[in-house]
Amino acid sequence: MHLPEAIPKAELHLHIEGTLEPELAFALAARNGVELPYADTEELRRAYLFSDLQSFLDLYYELMAVLHTADDFADLADAYLARAAAQGVRHAEIFFDPQAHTARGVPIGTVIEGLGRALDRSEERHGVSTQLIMCFLRDRSAESAMETLNAAEPYLHRIAGVGLDSAEVGHPPSKFAEVYAAAGALGLRKVAHAGEEGPPAYIREALDVLGVERIDHGLRAMEDPELVERLVRERVPLTLCPLSNVRLRAIDVLEDHPLKAMMEAGLLVTVNSDDPAYFGGYVGDTFHAVHEALGLDPEQLRELARNSFLASFLDHDEERRAR
């Protein structure tokens, strides 16, 4: 059998800003004259002790201060694609958070042009096909999400779909019904984070009110057997991120992760890295970790890899070529 790291796979839940490694953060800080409140990479790494999603998001947004130019975004994405390729990734559907940058005065065009530059050369340079998913920050207003969609209009040829991320509890999917309807009318695909820290009801809302085709995380579906039955029946993919769940304290230890139970319940689950610079591993490392901690057998690892292509935005022919 291939090593779990080496199995060809797609990554469907990856925040490009969450791939900012401490070394690159310091290099970009120096390049842009930004002062970071950490003496060095070691001190920064020691800050990666999170108690929940919000404690992570605080650092995640803070560190983005080093990202300014299109070159910065291109370097960030290129570094991710190189690491992903080395871990068997053949296709990546990549989230980005425009509002986290426009709020700091970085134009959305700078972000998309920089990321686009790296993505355009990814197949040739890394053998990884890519798509971009623009996420709305759910702890900001619905109006701000709509302004973001409008600001992205000149760049829609570069964007495959929209997503919803950031602090979940208290910000249900229904808050974004209007902007998702507008995104759908523009022909964009739709996904949303739901059931990471929020209740199963948010997963239902994402499906019924936003009309998403995939649920990002969906971990808390397991509290609701009727919902599980529906997700199985409707073949709704869940993009799980086991290392993230442990680091953000949704799960105590990886050995307790319900991934295997979710597969055995018939759910279409995939395994992803979420914010690999912060959570201790890229997607190949994640395959390796769940193999070790949960005793997944080779066939189950192949099933996860197969699911990653099935749940992707690739059409059938593209998907076969990518595997």
Residue numbering of the annotated binding site for substrate: 275
Q: Smaller CB distance to Zn ion: residue 11 or 274?
A: 274
Spatial CA neighbour of 202 closest among 190, 181, 183, 217: 217
CB of 239 to ligand HPA, least distance (A): 11
Q: Is 319 in the site for ligand HPA (CB under 6 A)?
A: no
Among 122, 166, 270, 312, which residue interacts with ligand HPA (rule: CB under 6 A)? 166
Q: For residues 165 and 135, is the Cβ–Cβ distance under 8 A?
A: yes
Residue 34, φ and ψ in degrees, nearest 5: -100, 135
Four-point Cα dihedral 227, 229, 231, 235, nearest 10: -170
Question: Given the rule CB under 5 A, which of 25-33, 144-152, 274-282, 310-318 is the region that contacts Zn ion?
Answer: 274-282
CA distance 313 to 250: 28
Q: Give the DSSP per-residue string, 264-276.
A: HTT--EEE--BSH
CB of 15 to ligand HPA, least distance (A): 4
Among 193, 220, 247, 257, which residue interacts with ligand HPA (rule: CB under 6 A)? 193
Q: Is 53 in the site for ligand HPA (CB under 6 A)?
A: yes
The residue whose two tokens read 């395994």 is 271
**For residue 212, which amino acid is it?**
V
Stretch 253-292 residues interacting with ligand HPA (CB under 6 A): 274-275
Q: Smaller CB distance to ligand HPA: residue 6 or 201?
A: 201
Q: Is 15 in the site for ligand HPA (CB under 6 A)?
A: yes
CA distance 131 to 146: 21
CB of 229 to ligand HPA, least distance (A): 26
- For residue 148, the number of C-alpha atoms closer than 13 Å in the C-beta half-sphere is 32
Q: Is 197 in the site for Zn ion (CB under 5 A)?
A: no
Residues 6+ apart with CB under 8 A from 208: none
Angle (CA) 294-299-305 rounded to 5° is 85
Question: Given the rule CB under 5 A, which of 30-38, 74-82, 268-276, 294-302 is the region that contacts Zn ion?
Answer: 268-276
Q: Smaller CB distance to ligand HPA: residue 7 or 60?
A: 60
Task: Report the binding-site residues.
Answer: 13, 15, 193, 274-275
CA distance 153 to 149: 7
Q: Give the count of residues interacting with Zn ion (CB under 5 A).
A: 1
Select from Zn ion, ligand HPA, none the partner in contact with residue 284, using the beta carbon and a kind-dependent cut-off of 5 to 8 Å: none
Q: For residues 190 and 215, is the Cβ–Cβ distance under 8 A?
A: no
Select from ligand HPA, Zn ion, none the partner in contact with residue 78, using the beta carbon and a kind-dependent cut-off of 5 to 8 Å: none
Q: Is 5 in the site for Zn ion (CB under 5 A)?
A: no
The residue whose two tokens read 């800050």 is 47
CB of 154 to Zn ion, least distance (A): 26
Known catalytic residues are 196
List of residues contacting ligand HPA (CB under 6 A): 15, 18, 53, 60, 165-166, 193, 196, 244, 274-275
List of residues contacting Zn ion (CB under 5 A): 274
